[in-house]
Structure 1
Amino acid sequence: MIVCDGLVKIYKSADLEVVALQGLDLRVEPGELMAIVGNSGSGKSTLLNMLGGLDRPSAGKLTVAGKDLLSMSDRDLIRYKRETVGFVWQNNARNLIPYLTAQENVELPILLRGRRRKARALELLEAVGLQDRRRNRLSELSGGEQQRVAIAIALANEPQLLLADEPTGSLDTKTSDQVLDLFRKLNRELGLTIVIVTHDPHLARKVDRVVAIRDGRTSSEMLRRRSYAEELAELERKGAESAAAEEESHVEYAVIDKAGRLQIPASFLEAEGFKDRNKVRVEWEDGRIVLRPPDADET
């Protein structure tokens, strides 16, 4: 569904250049539910904007559903945004029109497709569990309900790819869980590919794969040990699980790029022998690649 090879994005302002992405590589398969995490300034929102057709790459390769976003014309880019992707923003002011009802908000984008907007809007509101609230204006809906309306709007064009930018950032823990469960439901029932950008590492409990970005490159991936359904079944059998058990739901792997580079977790570099060093010894030992601090007499 998504292929990023050596993706580069440079922002220019007067004499200043900011490199937001520095050769990022990423693959996302059709039907995946995955998250992208990273600190502020890591490049995760820049990547999401390019996947959504809101910004163009400076160099590298970026294809979504077989479409080359680097060479796409402006006309084709508009069609891509209308037909291929749906977007859910953290700020509901970007998703919704406050003086319209939930149903009227969902009907608006359907007008572009020339479909029976009322029937389709009701179908989407039912899919997100808000059919009974369809006549309510936004001021009469909770934050979680507003975000559900936003998800219904993002599905109005029947996208192949759903992008969500910090969709739970302004919600409490309980409501966040409800929204994330809705993403899982849509992913499972519609076969929809969903990419969620977030700063919250605990989101990993709800998705199958988490890609961490650092300094404009993919630094690591966390893959689920077993299916989410299996975990829920075990939770029901055993009751409340400890925090330690939650941490074991995924296995983290460092990512090696095509040039053989990898990013070592910052916490490892703070360990004794590696702190404030800019070199490591790389050795092959018993079928493993081993990183060692340089000898004390090295400069």
Structure 2
Amino acid sequence: MRPEEALDRLQFRMLRAAVEAVQAMLFFATVSITAGSVAWAWLSHAGGDVDATGWAVAGGGALSSGAFGYLAGRRRRRTERGDFVIEQLEGLLTVSGVSDHQRYDYVRRQRIRAGRNGFRLVPIRSHWSARSRCPSTPECLYADQLLLDGRTPEEDGRIRRWIYLHRPIGRGYRVWVGLRHTFSDDGGRMQPYYRESGEEQRVDRLIVRLRFTWDRVPLEVVGVRWSARSRSSRQETGEVPFQKVPGPDGSVEYVVDVHKPDGRCAYGLRWRWADDNILPVDAMNSRTVTRSAPMTAPAFESLSAARRAGRWPGPAPAAPR
């Protein structure tokens, strides 16, 4: 038996519940004694000797303060915790070329911490503007999990999905969940942006990666923050910094890394093709900035030579200005 399975047994869950009850009693007693001591000291200073009425007032104030503090603490913890917290959310979208359209390989995984006992259903929402002639089905990243797919977009344009854990987990237990989805835009071109958010859930760290293969690097990339959702769309509220790093097999990656992101916002990247053509990797400036640089003359000559030699599958590049 694995350690996490042993810790999730009924006996250990009951032990955790007992420990929480003892903690609540200690909190209640501490607040009550503190409030009673303060009330007794104030009455002693104001009237000298403290009679039975003073003790009654002090005791009532202590009990009331303790009860209020205990209930407020439970309410605050319940509000902050919810069903689960996303400690880290990582999204990766890889854009590659297939003939006259693009293929998109999407991977999203997140480490969650359960906020209650018996938790086993993790909601995930997604929305893509691309239209495929042959729709594909996403799949789970992990074999011990099951993906429940809503399939049909709802009124806000998003498709609801849930990852079902084959066994319930207890409060405070951490687990990685994720899905993979591959699709193309051969039936309708995808709008050039990619963003992630925790929706209603709190996220401690958000990492968004956008990867282009060597033959599908755009002219311009911008890190963007979008405002709270309004039906099926969001409004851009500003730019965010990102890093450009080399990826595997000659690809290039753009990374947005946000700690404690605003729960009312989504974060990601928006890109622009050059005159609807595709540019090679050396068309991009190597600086790490919020905006990338346009194609340079040497890059144009390099791409033109590759195309004449038959090593460039894409359309002819636009000449630099």
User: TM-score, normalised on structure 1?
Assistant: 0.28
User: TM-score, normalised on structure 2?
Assistant: 0.27
- Highest RCO, 1 vs 2 (Cα 8 Å, sep ≥ 6): 1
Q: Which has the larger radius of gyration?
A: 2
Higher strand share: 2
Higher helix share: 1
